[in-house]
Amino acid sequence: MEYKQVGFFKRVAKALTDTEKLKTPILVKEATESNQLIEQSKQEIANTVDEKQSKSLHEKIKLLELGLKGENSVLFELQNSFMPIHILHDVRIVHNDLKAQIDFVVLTRKFILLIEVKNYYGNILVNEKDEFIRQVYKGNRLAFQEGFYSPVRQVERQVEVFESYMRDMGAVTRTPIKSVVVFTNNRTVINTKKASKHVKEKLLRVDGLVAYIKQELEKSSPVRFMDNRMKEMSDYIKATHFELIDDETDLVEMKLLEETISTQNENNERIVSAQANNTDLEELLKKFRMNKATEQNVKAFHIFSNKTLEELILKKPCSLTDLKTIHGIGEMKINAFGEELIGIIKNHRQL
């Protein structure tokens, strides 16, 4: 869709009457397709008796919801940034037989920002060749690792399609178009020590996005968009968006999201198991404390306090040396019942 340019004198008149009254974000375009796909999948579940198909649809809904959850956390940050920006969520552009699906297009007064959102969980290593490697650990042991397509290259490709389209249609000439990848899962560990400066600057956590935009706005730019010009531009970008016709699910993206769900479930199971295990140990230590208090005809807290109890459960000391690091356990108590305490903890750890 070609950008309609007005005549020179009209442009000058519009520029003279334009203002900078906008102070807060405007959501120009919402993401509707993911929600539509979720609702469509739910309808298909209601209408199917095939157990295998139903299970597959349930998994698809989980994946869509996980991706949407990450994008909504980015949207929350943008909408609460108190900056004069226009936000377009989920924009699809086709140009010269090339497609670009962009999670967010953010129009600022000085530049346009394209954002790729990732809600992966786990350890991500970026090596000296700027290759992205996902590492999966079982406890402290590296179970396996595999490379995946660079999200930096992914968003840069989106910029190439978007910028080519905007320039060919006459919508922009000098406007800087920037891009970043935002990781939204707070359990994601990203190791970029060996990565190039270029890649490091492209990777952000969701809580650093607003600070990044403010930092970039401090820099000089060949353009300065006023309110009417921003609206004109964002309306044009919204009009270029084409609706999702078929389910064009990115299979690699779905695989990583599936592994994210699987890993999260495993970790949740470990947490529940650890909590149950700690509850058992707590009962054993409380029983020991009560027995000692009864023997000595004193209150239970004279044997050791609740704070000491919590630290014993957390640290699980298995030697007298370790026991000395526990708050409230001195030489007298170690001599009196230190070996018994260690015995209880050791026996429990072997269960």
50 and 81 in one domain? yes
235 and 156 in one domain? yes
Do 41 and 54 meet the contact criterion of CB atoms below 8 Å apart? no
Please check whether residue 260 lies inside any domain of the structure: no
Say which residue, 209 or 263, is predicted with more confidence. 209
Last residue of one domain, picked from the residues 215, 246, 277: 246
Say which residue, 167 or 121, is predicted with more confidence. 167
Stretch 49-70: mean pLDDT: 78
Handedness of CA 7, 10, 12, 17 (dihedral sign): negative
Q: What is the pTM of this model?
A: 0.67
Element (H, E) at 104: strand 98-107
Both structure tokens of 278: 């700690």
Domain boundaries, position 139: 18-246
327 and 242 in one domain? no
Q: Give residues with Cβ within 8 angstroms of 332, minimum separation 6.
A: none
Percent of the chain with pLDDT over 90: 40
Q: What is the pLDDT of residues 241-268, one digit of tens each?
A: 887 644 444 544 544 555 555 555 554 4
Q: What is the pLDDT of residues 124-135, one digit of tens each?
A: 999 999 999 988
199 and 57 in one domain? yes
Say which residue, 173 or 26, is predicted with more confidence. 26
Which one, of 34, 30, 35, 56, lies nearest residue 45 by Cα? Answer: 56
Q: How far is CA 7 from CA 12, 13, 222, 230, 235, in A?
A: 9, 10, 21, 18, 19
Please check whether residue 7 lies inside any domain of the structure: no
Helix axes 227-240, 8-17, angle to 10 degrees: 120
Do 104 and 77 meet the contact criterion of CB atoms below 8 Å apart? no
Stretch 85-114: mean pLDDT: 93
Residue 6 is classified by DSSP as P
Stretch 66-71: mean pLDDT: 82
The pLDDT of residue 83:
96
Do 171 and 239 meet the contact criterion of CB atoms below 8 Å apart? no
Please check whether residue 259 lies inside any domain of the structure: no
Question: Is the pLDDT assigned to residue 123 strictly greater than 80?
Answer: yes
144 and 26 in one domain? yes
Please check whether residue 143 lies inside any domain of the structure: yes
Please check whether residue 8 lies inside any domain of the structure: no
The pLDDT of residue 4:
55
| Helix ranges (DSSP H) in the chain | 8-17, 33-47, 51-79, 151-168, 197-202, 209-217, 227-240, 251-296, 300-303, 306-315, 320-323, 331-349
Q: How confident is the model at residue 207 (pLDDT cuts 50, 70, 90)?
A: very high
Stretch 11-18: mean pLDDT: 57
Q: What is the pLDDT of residues 266-315, one digit of tens each?
A: 544 444 455 556 677 888 899 999 998 998 888 888 898 888 888 888 88
325 and 179 in one domain? no
Last residue of one domain, picked from the residues 246, 280, 302: 246
How far apart are alpha carbons 83 and 225 in whole angstroms? 14
The pLDDT of residue 246:
47
The pLDDT of residue 271:
42
239 and 316 in one domain? no
The pLDDT of residue 17:
63
The pLDDT of residue 69:
85
Both structure tokens of 21: 């009254």
How far apart are alpha carbons 88 and 277 in whole angstroms? 48
Strand partners, 179: 114
Strand 98-107 to 189-191 pairing = unpaired
112 and 24 in one domain? yes
274 and 160 in one domain? no
Please check whether residue 252 lies inside any domain of the structure: no
Please check whether residue 316 lies inside any domain of the structure: yes
Please check whether residue 217 lies inside any domain of the structure: yes
154 and 87 in one domain? yes
Domain count, the chain: 2
Question: Is the pLDDT assigned to residue 29 strictly greater than 50?
Answer: yes
Q: How confident is the model at residue 178 (pLDDT cuts 50, 70, 90)?
A: very high
Which one, of 95, 41, 27, lies nearest residue 249 by Cα? Answer: 41
156 and 62 in one domain? yes
Residue 116 is classified by DSSP as E
The pLDDT of residue 96:
87
Handedness of CA 323, 325, 327, 332 (dihedral sign): positive
287 and 142 in one domain? no
Which one, of 216, 242, 244, 3, lies nearest residue 107 by Cα? Answer: 216
